[in-house]
Amino acid sequence: MSAIKANAVTDKVVVPNANDTTKSNVRMVERYTDQPAVMPEYIRRELEAECNNELVQLYALVDLNAVMQLSQNWMAITDNFLAIATPHADNGAVSVQRIARASIKALDDQPGLSSTVLSLLAKPDDPALAVLRYTHRQRQAVENIKFVIQQQISGYTTRHDDADSAYAAATAEAVKNAQASVSNTRLAVVLRLMTYLYPYRFRVAVGMLAAFIMTGLTLLSPYLTKYIIDDVYQPFSKGAISRDTAIELSGIVIAILAFVYLLREINHWIRLRLMSIIGEHVAHDIRRELYSHMQKLSISFFSRKQTGSLISRVSHDTDRLWDFLAFGVVEVTLSIAMLIGLSVVLITLDWRLGLLMTVPVPILLAAFVIHSRSMKRYFVRAWRKWSSLTEVLTDTIPGIRVVKAFNQEDREIKRFNEHNANCLNDFNYIHTIWTRFWPRIIFALHFIVVMVWVFAIPRLFSDGTVTTPLSVGTFMAFLLYLGMFFQPIETIGMMTRMLNRATTSALRVFEILDTNPDQKTSTTAIQLEPLNGRVTFENVSFSYDGVRQILQGVSFDVKPGEMIGLVGPSGAGKTTVTNLIVNFFSRSSGNILIDDIDIDQLDIGPFRRQVGMVLQDPHLFHGTVLDNIRYGLEDASYDQIIEASRAANAHDFICRLPHGYETVVGERGHTLSGGERQRISIARAILGNPRILILDEATSSVDTEAERKIQQALEVLVKGRTVFAIAHRLSTLNKADRLFVFEEGKLVEEGSHKALLEQEGLYHRLSSLQRELHGMYAV
């Protein structure tokens, strides 16, 4: 955090020097909330004037008044003050209540259903200095201020230098978690998607050309019919040409027709083949880009998104994009080309009948678009019913033991049937509406056909009195062309839905591609090899969500080779400490030093290679035991692998597996017990020869015998390394040089097992509790 900078802001949202993230946050606040995206300048001025001209560091909108009515008050902090500004709508005046920050000794908040009441207290039982009420939408911005005040109460100073960015980020966060960026227009999304076609532009051009030729050739065959009737049959029946000439001409026409069909099919084939291949290439490119980008994103990104949703973006969404690019784009372009071509041909043939046919087409298209819009709500309803049906499934199938234990099968069947029947009704309703609409369109088209007949017939029977006679050939050609109108109208009519699905998939993909890796990457990355293993925390604080403080002002210095036990109740922040050491997450404030170098300056790859992790629930990849042990160290020799496995107490059971080290494990593979998986992961860690080792509840999910074996393995592993071990069973940490005791995110006690027991603090309490428990069960 740096010194405060002045931020000149106007009432219009202009955040000077704002980076892209801030700009996108500001856009989100403007678009989605009914509140200003920055604190209005006149309020800020009044507020700062009242606070001895100190600059605003952080602010939040306090959007409820004392009687829980929406209002627009602002709370802000400066170096020494917390101020609450209340603008008066009637006269434009601003009244400011100023509270010295030093006088705030406690914060008390009472969360309600949609709002929070926050009291600023001088002493816990004294009257509040101020009471603020705000909806959950403002919660994050207020939490930022609360954090600073709480830090101050605990004796730490935190300063912020960009109030506008912090406020915009906090206010936009809720929407942003659901939708990473303000959605672009559909056109922009489609255009961006098209850029993926650029590397294949030549083949795309050929494919499109083939498609256009195909369309043109389709239009040719009715014309040949006209020619046969008007220019061959009619002259022949009137005796104008001989039979031989007629047959000769017809032969040429048949040959042309055959050629046209052949050419058409060749073009059709070229188009299908080229476009589907290009579609696959593009989907492949997007998948490649997506997956490699995902691998670079920080762990916090993965903790925000559901695994299923990420998987479906790489698999399902890219598949949809393939479909859209390979067929959708071409189909729609062709349909438009076809309709234009048909209109031109028909109007050229006979402009009166041509106009009769073409003028209603846009009306029909509009009917399609309007109808598909009106269908939206039916689809939403059916979708809702469908998701409640699948909810029953995801509820009861994993919970089937509970259902059976309580003998609730009949109730669950009834529940499912109710939802199932609801789905049936709503889907049938959609079918009813759709089947009502489609015949109407067909009827309209047929009506046009009838009208063509009505207008054409009198002109067909020309007896010299008709001023605009119509040839039989032209009439026949018209009838054939009429049949061609149906397909493109339907395709274009469906375009809205297809575009919707494609843009949604594209946005889901782009959302990931547009997410920047959270962690700062230093331009001068230091390669720390080999690592000594000194780890220093200086006043480190951390919050996953910016709200709940998981770590608060943690400081320690661990020497190379030291073994540290991290203890404390669940949720005290032990695992977070280890996550920060390996830089899975970036701390919110403070410094983390590895061998006296700021962790942000390290080249993270080589650093992580020297850190080993043995976690509570080790993940084994699908593959052989061998692959799993040498994961991260591909060139390890068999000797090294066996040595590591022996050290991990794993060699013996691996040899008992059906295919020894080459037994396939992991998902869909051979099932190993928890203890066996753990020992494989320890072998993996031993093989990596890490300088810093993290053991997170390595023995908690196994039975006593397995634990003993794992303990033996770990004793080999920890020698000569800096170790951070987390364990609930405090007895497993008796070899630790020092114990760090955490409570509510703070490092509360530190020392050897013996020294801590003598202190009679939290460790003593936890330790005696466990002894009691063990005593109870050790019968």
Partner 1 sequence: MVCMRFNIGGVIRGAEMNLFKFSKNQHGQLQVLREGNMLLSVKPKRCFPWGEQNRYISIRDMENNEVTLVQNLDDLDEDSRQAVGDALNETSFVFTIERIVDIETEFEIRVWHVITDQGEYHFQTKLDEWPMKLEQGQFIIKDVAGNLYSVADIDSLDERSRRFLWAYLD
> Looking at beta carbons only, is 29 or 693 nearer to partner 1?
29
Residue 721: CB minimum distance to partner 1, A: 41
Q: Does 135 bind partner 1 (CB under 8 A)?
A: yes
Residue 182: CB minimum distance to partner 1, A: 9
Residue 435: CB minimum distance to partner 1, A: 20
Nearest to 319 by CA among 506, 549, 170: 506
> Looking at beta carbons only, is 124 or 605 nearer to partner 1?
124
Among 136, 373, 548, 774, binds partner 1 (CB under 8 A): 136
Question: Phi-psi region for residue 55, left (φ > 0), alpha (ψ -120 to 50) or beta?
Answer: beta
Which amino acid does the sequence have at 247? I
Which one of 36-44, 83-91, 373-381, 742-750 is the stretch in contact with partner 1 (CB under 8 A)?
373-381
Q: Does 70 bind partner 1 (CB under 8 A)?
A: yes
CB 324 within 8 A of CB 199: no
Tokens for 698, please give them.
Answer: 């390595």
Q: Does 569 bind partner 1 (CB under 8 A)?
A: no
Task: Please state, in angstroms and rounded to a whole number, the distance separating the CA atoms of residues 107 and 664.
Answer: 56
Task: Please state, in angstroms and rounded to a whole number, the distance separating the CA atoms of residues 159 and 577.
Answer: 23
Tokens for 461, please give them.
Answer: 């029977």
> Looking at beta carbons only, is 135 or 487 nearer to partner 1?
135
> Looking at beta carbons only, is 183 or 767 nearer to partner 1?
183
Residue 287: CB minimum distance to partner 1, A: 20
Residue 500: CB minimum distance to partner 1, A: 9
Which one of 93-101, 203-211, 370-378, 603-611 is the stretch in contact with partner 1 (CB under 8 A)?
370-378
> Looking at beta carbons only, is 120 or 726 nearer to partner 1?
120
SS3 118: strand
Task: Please state, in angstroms and rounded to a whole number, the distance separating the CA atoms of residues 593 and 535.
Answer: 6
Q: Does 544 bind partner 1 (CB under 8 A)?
A: no
User: Considering CB under 8 A, how many residues would be counted as binding partner 1?
Assistant: 46
Residue 85: CB minimum distance to partner 1, A: 20
Contacts of 89 (CB under 8 A, 6+ apart): none
Q: Does 68 bind partner 1 (CB under 8 A)?
A: yes
Which one of 103-111, 282-290, 515-523, 760-768 is the stretch in contact with partner 1 (CB under 8 A)?
103-111
Write b or e for each residue in 443-456: b if 16 or more Cβ atoms lie within 10 A of its Cβ, otherwise e: eebeebbeebeeeb
Q: Which helix (H) or strand (E) holds 329?
A: helix 329-349
> Looking at beta carbons only, is 95 or 390 nearer to partner 1?
390
Among 221, 388, 408, 767, binds partner 1 (CB under 8 A): 388
Q: What are the φ and ψ backbone dihedral angles of 540, each rounded to 5 degrees?
A: -85, 130
For residue 760, the Cα-to-chain-centroid distance in whole angstroms is 48
Q: What are the φ and ψ backbone dihedral angles of 721, each rounded to 5 degrees?
A: -120, 160
How many alpha carbons fall within 13 Å on the CB side of residue 448?
23
Looking at the chain, the number of H-run helices and the number of E-run strands are: 27, 19
> Looking at beta carbons only, is 381 or 559 nearer to partner 1?
381
Q: Does 65 bind partner 1 (CB under 8 A)?
A: no
> Looking at beta carbons only, is 126 or 760 nearer to partner 1?
126
> Looking at beta carbons only, is 59 or 134 nearer to partner 1?
134
Per-residue mark of binding to partner 1, 489-508 (x: CB under 8 A): --------------xx--xx
CB 39 within 8 A of CB 78: no
> Looking at beta carbons only, is 422 or 591 nearer to partner 1?
422
Contacts of 705 (CB under 8 A, 6+ apart): 675
Nearest to 301 by CA among 515, 505, 510: 515
Q: Does 729 bind partner 1 (CB under 8 A)?
A: no
SS3 183: coil
Residue 488: CB minimum distance to partner 1, A: 27
By CB under 8 A, the residues from 250 to 269 that bind partner 1 are: none
Which amino acid does the sequence have at 187? L
Q: Does 146 bind partner 1 (CB under 8 A)?
A: no
Residue 110: CB minimum distance to partner 1, A: 5
Which amino acid does the sequence have at 131? V
Q: What are the φ and ψ backbone dihedral angles of 435, each rounded to 5 degrees?
A: -70, -20
Residue 327: CB minimum distance to partner 1, A: 23
Residue 87: CB minimum distance to partner 1, A: 17
Residue 279: CB minimum distance to partner 1, A: 23
For the chain, the residue count is 779
Q: Does 387 bind partner 1 (CB under 8 A)?
A: yes
Tokens 């004796």, residue? 155
Per-residue mark of binding to partner 1, 113-132 (x: CB under 8 A): xxx-x-x----xx-xx--x-
* Paired strand residues for 612: 693
Task: Please state, in angstroms and rounded to a whole number, the distance separating the CA atoms of residues 123 and 129.
Answer: 9
Which amino acid does the sequence have at 175? V
Which one of 134-142, 260-268, 469-477, 707-715 is the stretch in contact with partner 1 (CB under 8 A)?
134-142
Task: Please state, in angstroms and rounded to a whole number, the distance separating the CA atoms of residues 275 and 323.
Answer: 10
Residue 530, preceding bond cis, omega within 30 degrees?
yes
Neighbours of 632 (CB within 10 A): 13
Per-residue mark of binding to partner 1, 24-43 (x: CB under 8 A): --------xxx---------
> Looking at beta carbons only, is 115 or 663 nearer to partner 1?
115
Per-residue mark of binding to partner 1, 151-190 (x: CB under 8 A): -----------------------xx-xxx---x-------
Question: Phi-psi region for residue 701, left (φ > 0), alpha (ψ -120 to 50) or beta?
Answer: alpha
Tokens for 267, please give them.
Answer: 């073009």
Residue 311: CB minimum distance to partner 1, A: 16
Interacting residues with partner 1 (CB under 8 A)? 32-34, 64, 66, 68-70, 108, 110-115, 117, 119, 124-125, 127-128, 131, 133, 135-137, 139, 174-175, 177-179, 183, 376-378, 380-381, 384, 387-388, 503-504, 507-508, 511
